[in-house]
Amino acid sequence: MPVVDVLVPQMGEGLQEVLIVEFFKKPGDRIARDEPFYSMETDKATMEVECLHEGILVEWLADEGDTLEIGVPVCRMEVEDTSSTHPGTHSGTHPGSSLADPPLDQGKVDVSSSDQPGGVDLRTISPRTRAYAKEQGVSDAVLAIISAASGKLMPEDIDRHLQQTPRLPGAGGGGGQFTERPVSSQDKTFIFRLRRSAEQVIPATAKRHLDWGPVRAYADTKKAELTDNPPSAFNCVAWAIAKATAEHPKFRSTLLREEVIREHAHVNLGIAVAMQTGELVVAVVDAADTLSFEDFVSVSKANIAVARGGRDQATEATQLVLTYMGPYEIVDAVPVLVAPAVAVLFIGSPFEQGGKMLVNLVLTFDHRLVHGVEAAEFLRTIVQNVEGLA
């Protein structure tokens, strides 16, 4: 069967790059035409991509968490029907293929090799390897002469080449003593969303104090009642925040194309979670404002545990994110809003003032959707909800 490269599709006007979220198939799996086989995130939504061919997946040319430009190869397939060309594929001179060569910028280079029939080694260079080479300052010309341990050039091959290449004395300050590691998939996702947010969001910030006394009192009362699943102070204030969104629909909304506001019936509440390795992911409590206190505590704890295992749960329908720095003695901060959320709320460490234990609530919101007065009223409702806990 002919082998083709399947390209990242153009799913909307002006779209330049996507984040690869999850692969549904592994090499060797059969894929039916129109069957979803991976998901990707754009600046508008997370979507499942349907396959344009019937065939067998040969290999993925990227990793989950990679950011790819529109039109670059995402995978390679053996296909059963190539009678018609489709803009979502590129056919190449792979073994068994009689189709035309792709352009040179589609992830392949031809290099001479004496141990290959005809003196030509058609080697694949994946977008991930090209990106790694760029980070290391390796040009395309050098890539063409680096030997690969297999038919596919990998970052390890580049590392080996660099280790074998003599360095000039004094090159690389600090005596050349450093370590390097790849960016994790979680951080790749975070960086993609940060960059997208910087390009689109117009952030604004509002801040006020919250009396932490009612929160502690309510937490102590509930711990005595719910001995099997005792809540933390954070669980209590997070539940009060979720309930506040019932009166403030902007904080359970998302902005579509700066022309349409999508107002959700309920809030999907995100909770920023730090993994043991330092990466940030988001746990999500769906329809958090509809849950009883006991159910909210149970669901949020379970989803936070899943997030700590590395699974980011944020989607385009996660409207509000909480970041809690109580255990870290951080009193004040300006949280960074990461799209697609409309707002992020920082909850600081308690501090004493005027005989009370207070915390700072700092709200960063997308000013395209939320105005300053609306942010102030939302914070006031949160404070009122907390005061009504005890």
Query: In this structure, what CATH number is given to the domain that contains residue 222?
Result: 3.30.559.10
Strand duo 320-324 + 269-274: pairing = parallel
At 11, which CATH number? 2.40.50.100
**Residue 349 confidence (pLDDT):** 96
Does 358 lie in the same domain as 266? Answer: yes
CA–CA gap between residue 333 and residue 294 (Å, rounded): 30
Does 274 lie in the same domain as 315? Answer: yes
**Residue 112 confidence (pLDDT):** 31
Alpha-carbon dihedral of residues 47, 51, 57, 62, nearest 10 degrees?
-40
**170: in domain:** no
Does 93 lie in the same domain as 116? Answer: no
Burial 278-311 (b: 16+ CB within 10 A, else e): ebbbbbbbbebbebebeebbbbbbebbeebeeee
Does 52 lie in the same domain as 131? Answer: no
Does 376 lie in the same domain as 301? Answer: yes
Q: How many CB atoms lie within 10 A of CB 322?
A: 23
- Its pTM stands at 0.67
**225: in domain:** yes
CA–CA gap between residue 133 and residue 131 (Å, rounded): 5
Contacts of 288 (CB under 8 A, 6+ apart): 238, 239, 242, 266, 267, 268, 269, 296, 300
**Could you give the C-alpha distances from 29 to 3, 25, 33, 59, 123, in angstroms and in order?**
14, 6, 13, 10, 23
Last residue of a domain, one of 102, 131, 146: 102
Strand partners, 282: 272
Query: How distant is the alpha carbon of residue 76 from its chain centre?
Result: 24
Does 69 lie in the same domain as 148? Answer: no
Which domain covers residue 60, as residue numbers? 1-102
Backbone angles phi, psi at 332, to 5 degrees: -140, 150
Does 345 lie in the same domain as 223? Answer: yes
Helix, strand, coil percentages (3-state) for the chain, rounded to 5, are 30, 30, 45
Q: How far apart are the first and last CA of the chain?
A: 70
**Residue 106 confidence (pLDDT):** 35
Domain count, the chain: 3
**181: in domain:** no
CA–CA gap between residue 41 and residue 319 (Å, rounded): 16
CA–CA gap between residue 47 and residue 57 (Å, rounded): 20
Does 268 lie in the same domain as 219? Answer: yes
Does 364 lie in the same domain as 237? Answer: yes
Assigned token pair, 39: 């998901």
**168: in domain:** no
Alpha-carbon dihedral of residues 263, 388, 384, 343, nearest 10 degrees?
-40
**65: in domain:** yes
Which residue has tokens 């790059």? 17
Contacts of 160 (CB under 8 A, 6+ apart): none
**Residue 109 confidence (pLDDT):** 33
Does 359 lie in the same domain as 254? Answer: yes
Last residue of a domain, one of 102, 134, 155: 102
Assigned token pair, 156: 């390890």
Does 304 lie in the same domain as 225? Answer: yes
**180: in domain:** no
Can you give the pLDDT of all 390 residues of the chain as single tens digits?
788 999 998 876 667 788 898 899 999 999 999 999 999 888 767 889 999 889 999 999 988 888 888 888 999 999 986 554 454 555 443 333 333 333 333 333 333 333 333 333 335 677 778 888 878 878 766 777 788 777 678 888 888 888 876 655 544 445 557 777 778 878 888 888 888 788 888 999 999 999 999 999 999 999 999 988 999 999 999 999 999 999 999 999 988 767 788 999 999 999 999 988 888 899 999 999 999 999 999 999 999 999 998 888 988 889 999 999 989 999 999 999 987 799 999 999 999 999 999 999 999 999 999 999 999 999 999 999 999 986
Does 366 lie in the same domain as 217? Answer: yes
Residue 118 burial (10 A CB sphere; 0-12, 13-18, 19+): exposed
**Residue 124 confidence (pLDDT):** 60
